[in-house]
Amino acid sequence: MSLEKILSVLPPVENIKVKSEADFYGASYIIADLLHIPLVPRSQCGWKHGWLFTDLKYTQQITGVRHEPKYLVPLKEHELFLQENGIEAKAVGMPFIYVEDIDKREIPRYKRSLLVMPPHSLSTSNHSWDEDTYAQQINELKSDFDLIVVCLYHACIEKNLWVEAFQKYDIPWILGANSLDRNSLIRMNRLFRSFEFMTTNAIGSHIVYAAYRGCKVSIYGAYSEYSEEDFKDDTLYNKYPFLLKHNLEYSSEKSVKSHYPFLFTHPLHAKSRVEWAGKELGKAYKVSHWKLAKHLGWLPWSQFAFYGEKVYIKIKKYFDGEQQ
């Protein structure tokens, strides 16, 4: 077993221009490839990527700061919640469950291999986690596993978060996801299929993604909490401070232990939870690729109406300015 073999099956980073939430991590490109569409149309709705592990209380948990005419969501309860609040929505599952339709490459899963995924930063957030304590705890697991690799979000690498802590114990790290990378979902799909175990010290979407692709997932070690100070420069939370308080409450160690006690275990004792992850990701609501294209607003008449409206608005602004 070697890290080089795992790296050899990962796709390269390919930066993209994001026009809507559906483009994040290359999701819309995957659907376009499945439909053999050479150019990705401009999606006319939001498509929720993150795992909604918190209780639904605010529409902004799904819509964020964007104002789209429609939102594609993982579960029926999410669809009904938005509709009850006057927002058009459709349950189609998370983008990650569509990756397996295109990524057919056979990937060997290495026994006694552990993928470590600490919490990640955002471009607008700052953190003061106890990186060394967690890295030391992972280092103490070396006798239990034949290979331990740390997977880091691109923003953490850019900020040098977690990097030096794990290098200190000679634990290798690799690049994980990047919302502006066309191949992010495929890369994570192949990584999760390569490792037998995945462990983390914070709640997040990586838990259900890894579990869905067969990793035995655990939360272990010094839990990394988020704080209000971490997000003082974040656009979403500055606009909706009540949302930050809600998310912080549900992402705390106490709350996560209350809602997901089965995840807290030694990594070597973690169990397979593919069926559970599939439910959380909305596999039951997965639709055909053509139906998904319709929901995304990719059909010709939808595109014509969308761009026709943009042209109309520009013309109207021009003549309104002339009249003034």
User: Tens digits of per-residue pLDDT, 249-302?
Assistant: 999 999 999 999 999 999 999 999 999 999 999 999 999 999 999 999 998 756
pLDDT tens column, 144-188: 999 999 999 998 888 888 999 999 999 999 999 999 999 999 999
| 80, burial (CB in 10 Å: exposed 0-12, middle 13-18, buried 19+) | middle
pLDDT grade, residue 305 (50/70/90)? low
pLDDT of 307 higher than 70: no
* Cβ pair 94, 49 in contact under 8 A: yes
Contact criterion met (CB below 8 Å) for 92 and 292? yes
Whether residue 311 is predicted with pLDDT greater than 60 in this model: the reply is: no
Mean pLDDT of 54-68: 89
**pTM over the 0.85 mark:** yes
pLDDT tens string 203-236: 999 999 999 999 999 999 999 988 888 888 888 8
User: Mind listing the domains of the chain with CATH numbers?
Assistant: 3-9+107-277 (3.40.50), 21-100+283-313 (no CATH)
Tokens (6 digits) for 136: 């030391």
> Which helix or strand (DSSP H or E) is residue 91 part of?
strand 89-91
CA distance 17 to 209: 24
In sequence order, what DSSP letters do the residues of 297-322 get, joined into one string? Answer: T-SHHHHHHHHHHHHHHHHHHHHHHH
Strand partners, 152: 175
* pLDDT at 101 (0 to 100): 97
**Residue-averaged pLDDT of the chain:** 91
